[in-house]
Homo-oligomer: A and B are copies of this chain.
Amino acid sequence: MASIKDVAAEAGVSVATVSRVLNDHPSVSADARTRVLAAVKALGYRPNAVARSLRTDQTRTLGLVISDVLNPYFTHLARSVEEQARALGYSVIIGNADERPDLQDHHVRTLLDRRIDGLLVSPTDGGSPLMLDAVRSGTPMVFVDRWIPGVDVPVVRSDGQAAVHDLVTHLHGLGHRRLAIIAGPATTTTGQERVEAFRRALGAYGLPLPDACIGQGDFQAESGRRATERFLDLAEPPEVVFAADNLMALGALDAIRARGLRVPDDIALAAFDDIPWFVHTDPPITAIAQPTGELGRAAVRALVDRIEGRPPASVTLPARLVVRRSCGEPAPRERVAFREPSALQEPLREPPAPREPSPVMNRSQS
């Protein structure tokens, strides 16, 4: 592959001049610029980003470690992160932890070794030594969705408290009194918070949340299936199962179907995190929707602020309840309930990103 030396030779200038042209440095004669550009084109030259990074000590790259790519919520998040990063002149490298702390650490390590400029993490656990090291080492970092308590890192997340309350109100109104939840891991903030919000909301209606009605899941489908089976084996099975994410709701559906039971007649189902398929499941599933796209964008903004020396801000956005038919109420049409602009109304496809800067050789400095 042609290097800057080849271009310099071809153009009859020094590599310094070539570099200046490529970086839009003002003090280059029009003549030199023309010759360099011609040489670049003739040789099909592209600057080596590795060398540039070594020299400038910046990679213009963000790392994103998500808990599970197979979860549409995180896929959506990743997409909006990449889009916003691109708009700001950064690339993003995604690491998928599959809800496994060891894999998460693997990706954090790899990303750090690559000297990414900043790290976006949705932690799978309460904070491994490596993760805490990363924070202490001063790598710009922002937590998205989940976070690690007691650590001084901005957090961009959504607050489901009010929406969970709305959900319980909805369920209570339908006459349900025995409600169960499939929780995420207690080592994750979202794992805990959603149970707590649920418990608090039940409390407001004088309803208990006995241990038997808390299924321990891990945010993956299989755990939702197992937890639901356990519920169904109870002497008095719950009337409602609330899955703390969409994958566990999928597992719950598998378990319910395997027993030949019907939703919502035999048992009601609701989920945290809304996905397009919930409109078409049998029956359509009542869910709590997060403003996922906006979360991703806000997280990137905060991280880039931090990287570029501006003070980053934590952001908390409200989630909202979307009522469908899985809890028993007839809903003739898609009914969006209660509060806040919809994350579902958020188009699946977001507006096209700005055109790429055209000259092949400009580093996007934004």
Contact = CB atoms under 8 A, between A and B. Distances in A.
B69 A222 contact: no
Interface string A172-201: 000000000000000000000000000000
Interface stretch (A7-15, A23-31, A33-41, A76-84): A76-84
A117 to B, nearest CB: 12
Nearest to A59: B50
A52 to B, nearest CB: 9
B91 A94 contact: no
Interface string A81-103: 01000100001011010101011
A112 to B, nearest CB: 7
Contacts of A360: 109
A198 to B, nearest CB: 23
Interface in A42-68: 44, 46-51, 53-54, 59
A70 B82 CA distance: 13
A243 to B, nearest CB: 13
A162 interface: no
A337 interface: no
Nearest to A99: B349
A251 to B, nearest CB: 10
A217 B100 CA distance: 38
A167 B49 CA distance: 49
B277 A281 contact: yes
Contacts of A281: 277, 280-282
A115 interface: yes
Contacts of A98: 349
A262 to B, nearest CB: 12
A253 B277 CA distance: 10
A347 B114 CA distance: 32
A22 to B, nearest CB: 12
A345 interface: no
B69 A78 contact: yes
Interface residues of A, number: 59
B54 A50 contact: yes
A59 to B, nearest CB: 7
Contacts of A353: 103
Contacts of A113: 46-49
A70 B80 CA distance: 11
Most buried by B among A59, A79, A280, A281: A280
A250 B222 contact: no
A93 B93 contact: yes
Contact of A137 (B1, B78, B96, B355): B1
A279 B253 CA distance: 9
Contact of A102 (B44, B277, B284, B356): B356
A58 to B, nearest CB: 10
Contacts of A91: 93, 110
Nearest to A285: B280
A333 to B, nearest CB: 10
Given A50-B54, A254-B279, A79 B72 contact: no
Nearest to A111: B91
A325 to B, nearest CB: 10
Considering the complex of A and B, which 7 residue pairs feature the smallest CB-CB distances, nearest first? A282-B282, A49-B113, A277-B277, A280-B281, A49-B114, A253-B280, A50-B53
